[in-house]
């Protein structure tokens, strides 16, 4: 996939639990496993989100902060 500096990756999350959750997911384009295991790669923080019980939320990452010509993998942890 060719990378355009105006691209934004958006993820949708659903909280099916009884409590609100606040978290900051991380995204990688060169690490195929989890953030703190095995192969090492570069991880970038996405925006923090708070999702109340039985509702949905989104997080996003603007590709303009990277200098990639293309990518073959997107991993969110």
This prediction's pTM: 0.82
Q: How far apart are CA 71 and CA 77, in angstroms?
A: 17
Measure CA of the first residue to CA of the last residue in the chain; give whole Å.
21
Residue 14: pLDDT over 90: yes
| CA separation for the pair 70, 57 (Å, rounded) | 28
In sequence order, the 6+-apart residues with CB closer than 8 A to the CB of 43 are 26, 27, 28, 31, 35, 77
In tens, the pLDDT along 18-77 reads 999 999 999 998 888 888 887 778 899 999 999 999 999 999 998 876 766 667 888 898
Q: What is the pLDDT, as a whole number, of residue 46?
A: 94
6 pLDDT higher than 80: no
């Amino acid at each position: 996939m060719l990378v355009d500096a105006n691209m934004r990756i958006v993820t949708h999350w659903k909280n099916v639990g009884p409590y609100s959750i606040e978290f900051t997911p991380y995204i990688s384009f060169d690490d195929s496993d989890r953030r703190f295991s095995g192969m090492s790669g570069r991880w970038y923080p996405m925006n923090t989100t708070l999702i109340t019980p039985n509702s949905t939320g989104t997080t996003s990452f603007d590709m303009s902060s990277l200098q990639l010509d293309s990518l073959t993998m997107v991993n969110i942890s």
